Every structure is written in structure tokens, then in C-alpha cells.
Amino acid sequence: MNKIQNNKAWLLVIPVFVIVAFSAIIPLMTVVNYSVQDIFGPGQRVFIGTEWFKEVLLDERLHDALWRQLLFSALVLLIEIPLGILIALALPTRGWSVSLFLIILALPLLIPWNVIGFIWIVFARPDIGLAGKTINDLLSIDYNFTSNAFDAWITVLIMDVWHWTPLVVLLCYAGLRAIPDAYYQAASIDGASKWAVFRYIQLPKMREVLTIAVLLRFMDSFLIYAEPFVLTGGGPGNSTTFLSQFLTKMAIGQFDLGPAAAFSLIYFLIVLLFSWLFYTAITHISQ
């Protein structure tokens, strides 16, 4: 659509700008300020330039956490996006069951994130959890997410799939519902296979919602904190310590505000970079 050039439109954007800027700009400036100073106590600080950035960038533990984080986010996207599309395709399109399915899908999304962690503790614990007990007793697999690093990883991943796939399903379902029937009818007249219908009609029409889904899932999985914190506390060892938790340990646990601030900014830039890459890639494919 060709939009009208009109700078007065800014007047309509001002409320949003004010509300967001209030919470965004001053804290960001403060963090930038921390990141270039060494703070000894109230009123005692020294400007040290990029030293914290260098220190953080060379930190081995941070590299480990970063790789863990990248692997985690990659797996999250690789599982949740295709699964979400599949479920959205399988959902009924009319009838009373649609509302029921939508409500059930929305449930995991409406649970506070630390409660999600709690649900999965009681669900996966080998002694009192339904899943933990079943895997150990019925399948005779030795499973314990509090002591085994691999089990902990899988549990966090499945928890995230459980928690967030519904969001992808809802978005894709919305995209699919917006396709007029005539497209399906034309495709059947043109003799298109199911795959061709998916490839040439459904997927292109879902592009917009998939952009939102991929970006939201990437950002939120890359910033994941509360759920694994409650479930595994980052352990065993550091096996499920993702970037946010590493950062929190640094900032609150060790009161290293300077490096933590520098790290935050780097972290922020990584998320920004990847989001931009995804966005450009998805828009580029469609051109």
C-alpha cells in the first residue's frame, strides 16, 4: 500500500514513544555508564574505557555459556517452528472443537514463567513426577535431571517446547485461516499435490506470521531465565547455565556490575544482530 507522507503522524506516535522511552532510555544509559567504569562503592568510580568489554569477551566461561545458548536457541527454533506448523495444519478449521483447542493451546502461555519451572519439577522428578517415574519404572531408563547433565538439558528443552510451541501454533493457525478458500479450490483444479499446496500457498501466506514467530521465539529463547533457573538452577555443574543466568550470577552473585553491564550490552547486540539477520533473511527469501 502506498502510504501518505505526513509528518504530523508523529503526534500519534508520541504517547508510545514517551511510555517506552521512560523505561528504555535511562536504564540503558545507566548500563552504558556502568560498563565503562570501575565501581568501588558509592561515589567512588573510575573511568576505564573498554577494559570490561575486553575482559568479558575473553572469558572462557562466557564462551561456554554462549555456545550452550546458541545450541539451545537453534534447537528450540528447529523443533518448535516445524512442530508448530504441523499442528496448525492438523487443527480443525471449523466446529465447536476449534474454541476448545485454542483455549488449551493458550494455557501454557498464560502460566508465570517460574511456575512453569515448578510444574516441570513436579512432573519430571523421578520420585514424585509422572514423567520421571514413568521413564524410570516403566521404560527402565535411568533418568534424573538433577544429577545427569544430559537429562537436565533434554528436560529444559522439552519444557521449552511444551511452553512455547503453542505460540507458534496459534500464530500459524491465524496465518492459515487468513487464506481464502478459492486458493485451495484453484490448487485442486490445477492438480496440485498436498506438498505443492503447502509449498506454494500455505507457506508463502504464512510468511508474515512466521516472521513474528521466529523472531519472538529467538529473542525469548535467547533470553531464557526463569524456567531453567527454577527447574535446574543452571546445573548440574554449569550444564544448563544459559547466558541470562550467567549474567545474573555475575551481576547479583558477585556484584561485578561493570563487567556485567559490558556483558549485557554485548548480549543485547548479539540478540539484535541475529534478529536482524532472521528478519532480513525471511524478507529476502520472499522477494
Near other proteins by CB under 8 A: residue from 36, 62, 135, 247: 247
Pick the stretch among 7-15, 40-48, 72-80, 138-146 that binds other proteins (CB under 8 A).
7-15
Cβ 175 to other proteins, closest distance in Å? Answer: 7
Q: How far is it, in rounded angstroms, from Cα 222 to Cα 157? A: 13
Q: Report phi then psi at 193, rounded to 5.
A: -75, 170
Pick the stretch among 40-48, 50-58, 60-68, 191-199 that binds other proteins (CB under 8 A).
191-199
Pick the closer one to other proteins by CB: 153 or 267: 267
Closest CA to 236 of 144, 112, 126: 144
Residues 18-37, interacting with other proteins (CB under 8 A): 19-20, 22-24, 26-28, 30-31, 34
- Mutual angle of helices 149-177 and 207-222, in 10-degree steps: 150
Q: How far is it, in rounded angstroms, from Cα 164 to Cα 171? A: 11
Q: What burial letters (b/e) apply to 249-272, b meaning 16+ CB within 10 Å?
A: bbbeeeebbbbbbbbbbbbeeebe
Q: How far is it, in rounded angstroms, from Cα 256 to Cα 262? A: 10
Cβ 208 to other proteins, closest distance in Å? Answer: 5
Pick the stretch among 43-51, 138-146, 149-157, 265-273 that binds other proteins (CB under 8 A).
265-273
Sign of the C-alpha dihedral, residues 73, 259, 245, 23?
negative
Pick the closer one to other proteins by CB: 55 or 162: 162
Pick the closer one to other proteins by CB: 149 or 200: 200
Residues 150-189, interacting with other proteins (CB under 8 A): 162, 166, 170-171, 173-175, 177-178, 180, 182-183, 185-186, 188-189
Residues 34-53, interacting with other proteins (CB under 8 A): 34
Pick the closer one to other proteins by CB: 77 or 271: 271
Cβ 269 to other proteins, closest distance in Å? Answer: 9
DSSP state, residue 58? T
Pick the closer one to other proteins by CB: 136 or 239: 136
Which residues, listed in sequence order, are joined to residue 47 by a DSSP beta bridge?
A: 37
Residues 53-112, interacting with other proteins (CB under 8 A): 86-87, 90-91, 98-99, 101-112
Which residues are CB-contacts of 246 (< 8 A; sequence separation ≥ 6)? Answer: 61, 62, 65
Vertex 13: Cα angle to 8 and 15 (nearest 5): 125
Pick the closer one to other proteins by CB: 153 or 256: 256
